[in-house]
Amino acid sequence: MLSVLIISSVFVLLFATPPPILTVKAQPPPTALPPPPQQQQIGQQPPQATQTSPPLSTQQNMTQLNQSTPQQIAPLNQLVDSEDFVASGTINSTLYTTNGNWEAIGIWTLSVSEGDVTSFDTDMAWNNGTSAHTHEFQNFEMDEDSDDISIDSGGGITIEGDMDIGTNGVVSWPSVPAEITIQQAKIVTISVDHEETDNHFGGQSVHGTVISLTPCSASPGPNMQLTGAC
């Protein structure tokens, strides 16, 4: 009888005691490792520094200039001694300075009527590989004591006067003495007074190409001739 009671007590204790509660400790999520650094492959060029680009309008002008444009130069016998003509072309020049080599690309136009300049305009974009800006030649006025402009027998023209020089669309140097020359109806050279422009152009001239040089007239000519207006 005693043994039965002991066994019963053991069973009572076993069933009365609650089972132990297992506690599972949450583990922190694994830390994401940074991606391994990219190794430069042999022969691969390092990334290049971003260059400053000219304004959008200048880029559009440059695109137009890169397109093939046929020359429209009248025969020399029609140009010699002419005091009424229009000319235009491109600027493609390099200036060598202590601030790098500056390349210019742009367009120029010239109109002469009765031996006097009625307009001369030049728009250029300048770039040295790391920075860029624009320059404008405008508002050209001939010297009062200058002779009437005409084209000589070799297709040459020389014009002296004053003009405004702009930078990024704003006039930087007004009424600067300047000279425009055209040689053999092919090459244009524009020179400015370097002291008046704070030696900005490094004492060098700007060069370009003549694409168009044709006579013009304010009135029709004989034998049904009709040229473009000046």
Given CATH 2.40.160, say whether it is the number of domain 56-215: yes
Q: In angstroms, rounded to a whole number, what is the distance separating the alpha carbons of residues 79 and 42? A: 61
Q: Is the pLDDT of residue 74 over 70?
A: yes
Average pLDDT for residues 126-147, to the nearest whole number?
95
> In the chain, where are the structural domains located?
56-215
Q: In angstroms, rounded to a whole number, what is the distance separating the alpha carbons of residues 45 and 29? A: 40
What residue type is assigned to position 121 of the chain?
D
Between residues 133 and 11, which one has the greater pLDDT?
Answer: 133
Nearest CA-CA partner of 177 in 208, 137, 149, 147: 137
Q: Is the pLDDT of residue 9 over 80?
A: no
pTM of the model as a whole = 0.70
Residue 125 is encoded by which pair of tokens?
């974009």
Give yes or no for a contact between 182 and 156, defined as CB atoms under 8 angstroms apart.
yes
Residue 108 is encoded by which pair of tokens?
């120029």
Give yes or no for a contact between 95 and 104, defined as CB atoms under 8 angstroms apart.
yes
Model confidence pLDDT, tens digit, residues 93-132? 999 999 999 999 999 999 999 999 999 999 999 999 999 9
